[in-house]
Structure 1
Amino acid sequence: LVSTRPGDTRDIMVLGLKQSYDYLEDHNDLDPKRSAFSDVGLDLGLYPNRDFGFHFDANYDAENRDFSSWGIDNTIRDDRGDAIRGRFTFIDNQVSQLDGNVEIVLSDRLKVGYYGKFDDLESEFVESKVALRIMSACNCWSIDLGYHDRLNPDKQQYTLSFTLAGLGEIGS
């Protein structure tokens, strides 16, 4: 953790390594195809300043000597509040997808955003969202107007939500 101002702290780096062990599986051999040890999980996040973040996570299958899944994501934001985020996720040749979103501040009270999810295996967008946020001058409430298009299940919807600071969201 690092502090840039009194009372303001943030992580500059996160590192995690984990593996679990199933005692019952090891001693009772409930499923001969399953190991008592889980994949080894790695989690690494680098956040050199408040405007940039990089994160990598992976699960390594020690028995097969291969990564069963991994993901990489990046966030960049500026002083105005504009942000761009992207994530690539891969899971055992079953999932290969790119997620991304962009948020642009139009004024002190208006923000627009886009979120998309692209399936690399099927070469198609599986989800898209676009929204406009209208914020109050006191920052105590906001209204979101949006459109959401999802491929599976095939569903399109318009959204309207009202958020009160500290209380949560109403609407859909």
Structure 2
Amino acid sequence: MLIYLMLLALLSCKYTNDTQFGKQYNAIRMEYGSPVIHDYMRLRIADTDFENWRAPQTMHDTISIGFHAGKGFYIHHDSILQEDDIFRKRINDSTFVFIAILTHGNLKKHQFTNIYYDTVDERSLKLTAKEYLNNNSDYKNYYNSERQNLTIEEADSILTEWGTGRCL
């Protein structure tokens, strides 16, 4: 029993500890404009090449304002190559709108290479590959994509309207 509790404590630390490019790196992110890792986010995956931080599932299921759902970033030789961020807001029982922000950069050079707004219907995530690939008319309402490219200023404006932001 003691070994089980020690193992459980060790594993839970993996998901709560900070890393070199985790929350302690937020001040640098703010300097080059990449979204910060918000306090409510937890580390899910960490190795020498990649990290993934996510909001708790209860936020996805219950919150009605916008929130930072996840951040993934790729590491190369003690620097960040790119950061991928998703902000979400639930609009009904099955559908989210989201903003995706891809940032390449560091303090010397950075750019927002891809920013877009889109929707996702959670029911479409449960389709089999055959149903998805056949684009069966029974499921056509799942595919109503509203993907729209945005500038960083447009993304910031929407995030503010949702009650969140890159640095909040």
Q: Return the TM-score normalized by structure 2.
A: 0.39
Indicate the structure with greater strand content: 1
| Higher relative contact order, structure no. (Cα contacts within 8 Å, ≥ 6 residues apart) | 2
Q: Return the TM-score normalized by structure 1.
A: 0.38
Q: Name the larger-Rg structure.
A: 1
